[in-house]
Structure 1
Amino acid sequence: MKKIFMLLAMLVFIAGCTNQTEETENTGDKETTETVTYESENGPVEVPANPKRVAVLSTFAGNLMELDINLVGVDSWSKMNPNFDEELADVEEVSDESLEKLLELEPDLIIGLSNINNADKLKEIAPTVTFTYNKVDYLTQHIEIGKLVNKEEEARKWVEDFKARANRIGEDIKAKIGKDATVTVIENFEKQLYVFGDNWGRGTEILYQQMGLKMPEKVKEMALTDGYYAISPEVLPEYAGDYMIFSKNTETDTSFQETETYKNIPAVKKDHVYEVDAQTFYFNDATTLDYQLDFFEKSFLENE
């Protein structure tokens, strides 16, 4: 009887632990998978302590690449990013609709944005954690992903290093262009242009939040709250700063650049427009942030 009570006490203790162990039979041997509880925005989720096969359905592939996490599936936007070509060459393209493909890939963790479809079905395939875009700031987001995949220390070190580099480069940029100079970030899609606030990718977090560069008043008025604002090419001069970052989609209409309206913008006349491939510039994951920072350093400090 004493042995039974001891056994029951041990089982209660094990059940109450955060770290759990699942044992599965594999040709007579035991394969052990340790799990931990991640406190997601939707509540606690049991996830692998050290995930080996991660599928990313939106936005966060570059964070996981920076943390050296093995990816078995990524979203279409990540697959289109030229900067990710080499690392994602053998990684499958997946979405929240490709349930059969995800089953075949056998991920041990699925990560996506909070607006993904089929969340309940995805949870049947693997533990699924979602994040609401901009619920936390872009650097805290990287740390949260680090916590999720047991790489918090590495994530925090990257954030501190990134902030130091961005601050240094930002001070050099302000010293060169003047602390009151304004910067506008634009992007073209079909026959419309977009201007961006300070938290919608395209390097805006670096320019405005980290470096403290100034946004034109018109952009601040129309784009700061929602993150972006659609304009026609005809009114671009009203939103143009002393410098412009043009996140350019070459496969859509860029004929506005041939108009007198565009050519007469002071930033254009002074060659203060820095163009970059939009597909490399969309997001604010850690890998893309490194690329954006390098682009800003070369554009502002090595030009002219």
Structure 2
Amino acid sequence: MKKLLIPFLLLLVMLISACGANNEETTTSDTTETEEKSSETITYQSENGPIEVPANPQRVIVLSTFAGNVKALDVNLVGVDSWSKMNPRYELDGVEEVTDESLEKIIELDPDLIIGLSTMKNVDKLSEIAPTVTFTYGKLDYLTQHLEIGKLLNKEKEAKIWIDDFKSRSQAAGEEIKAKIGEEATVSVIENFDKQLYVFGDNWARGTEILYQEMKLKMPEKVKEMALKDGYYAISPEVLNEYAGDYVIFSKNADTETSFQETQTYKNIPAVKNNQVFEVNAKEFYFNDPITLEYQLEFIQKSFLTE
């Protein structure tokens, strides 16, 4: 019996050893495959020519404007600009706040891709840290811009699916709103910032792309005259009545000057008297990425269609 048992135990040990070797080999193979995948690149045709970027970026820094686009495509952010950081809709806990001048901090974050605007500083130095792609704000329409971010992140298909769906939903909501308020009713978007009021055209975020481009709601003539070309126009509270539509969306910074709302000039504006001013937190309304756009669409529908 003992003679039979010994060869059996040896065989068992050999089998266990072989399995362990196989597992180790598989693990090593999987690790190598993951490393190879993360080192793969694609060529992105940027404004400044072709650039090699990661095919599967893992540590992205956005230095202006596009953090919401990246996050909406489920790509990891390790650093963002201050305006994005203060947006509660982005949920950026654990993501560092950086600027185009905080080079040492950016190096420490070890990004594999940096995204920003063409106007930012130190592009050459940033490019030495990681592939750096810049966009000119307003050069592309807001949905084409998201598609470009999708191409850059190797997620063009996902971006296109969202764009088609969003346009369809926005336009359908626009028809509902026009049926309720009338084809000729006008809508304006205002914002208070640093003791100044602004009105906006049809491509300066704050819901303007949805209201005017997708829903085809009417802009007051005075806003069209002064804000359509440049995207925005600064006014004083005293002349707000000239720019206020039948309905007003007020992108409100509660931590800056709002005393004008207590004046009789403001209270006598028809939209104010008719309770047709819809206030929203400006920090949640600044941008035109998918996360912000979804919130803007929800807010617009609720404001106009809820009794």
> How many Å apart are 1:94 and its aligned residue?
1.0
Match of 1:206 among 203, 210, 225: 210
> How many Å apart are 1:116 and its aligned residue?
0.7
Q: Name the structure 2 match of 1:234.
A: 238
* 1:127-171 Cα shifts (integer Å, max 9, x gaps): 000010111100000000000001000000000010011011111
CA–CA distance in structure 2, aligned partners of residues 51 and 189 of structure 1: 36
Q: Name the structure 1 match of 2:147.
A: 143
Match of 1:131 among 132, 135, 150: 135
Q: C-alpha root-mean-square deviation of aligned residues, in Å?
A: 1.0
Q: Name the structure 1 match of 2:113.
A: 109
> How many Å apart are 1:95 and its aligned residue?
1.0
Q: Map of 1:50-129 to 2, 5 A cutoff? A: 50-85=56-91, 88-129=92-133
* 1:242-292 Cα shifts (integer Å, max 9, x gaps): 000000000111011011111011100110000000000011111101110
CA–CA distance in structure 1, aligned partners of residues 60 and 194 of structure 2: 34
Q: What amino acid sits opposite 1:100 in the alignment? A: E
Q: Name the structure 2 match of 1:43.
A: 49
> How many Å apart are 1:83 and its aligned residue?
1.2
> How many Å apart are 1:193 and its aligned residue?
0.5
Match of 1:173 among 165, 172, 177: 177
Q: What amino acid sits opposite 2:82 in the alignment? A: S
> How many Å apart are 1:59 and its aligned residue?
0.6
Match of 2:276 among 269, 272, 276: 272
**Deviating 4+ runs (over 4 angstroms):** none
* 1:105-131 Cα shifts (integer Å, max 9, x gaps): 111000001101000000000000001
How many positions carry a matched residue from both structures?
273
Q: What amino acid sits opposite 1:238 in the alignment? A: E
CA–CA distance in structure 2, aligned partners of residues 191 and 121 of structure 1: 36
Q: What amino acid sits opposite 2:235 in the alignment? A: I
% identical equivalent positions: 74
Q: Name the structure 2 match of 1:197.
A: 201
Give the gaps of 5 or more residues in structure 2: 1-31
CA–CA distance in structure 2, aligned partners of residues 181 and 153 of structure 1: 37
Question: For 1:282, what is the secondary structure of its paired residue?
Answer: coil
CA–CA distance in structure 1, aligned partners of residues 194 and 263 of structure 2: 16
TM-score when scaled to structure 1?
Answer: 0.88
Q: Name the structure 2 match of 1:19.
A: none
Which of the two has higher C-alpha Rg? 2
> How many Å apart are 1:190 and its aligned residue?
2.6
Question: For 1:135, what is the secondary structure of its paired residue?
Answer: coil
CA–CA distance in structure 1, aligned partners of residues 150 and 195 of structure 2: 39
Match of 1:184 among 184, 188, 203: 188
Question: For 1:111, what is the secondary structure of its paired residue?
Answer: strand
Question: For 1:110, what is the secondary structure of its paired residue?
Answer: strand
CA–CA distance in structure 1, aligned partners of residues 170 and 68 of structure 2: 18
Q: Name the structure 1 match of 2:162.
A: 158
CA–CA distance in structure 2, aligned partners of residues 155 and 96 of structure 1: 27
- Considering fraction of residues, name the structure with more helix: 2
Q: What amino acid sits opposite 1:46 in the alignment? A: E
TM-score when scaled to structure 2?
Answer: 0.88
* Correspondence 1:293 to 2:278: no
Q: What amino acid sits opposite 1:187 in the alignment? A: E
CA–CA distance in structure 2, aligned partners of residues 211 and 279 of structure 1: 23
Q: What amino acid sits opposite 1:286 in the alignment? A: P
- Considering fraction of residues, name the structure with more strand: 1
Question: For 1:198, what is the secondary structure of its paired residue?
Answer: coil
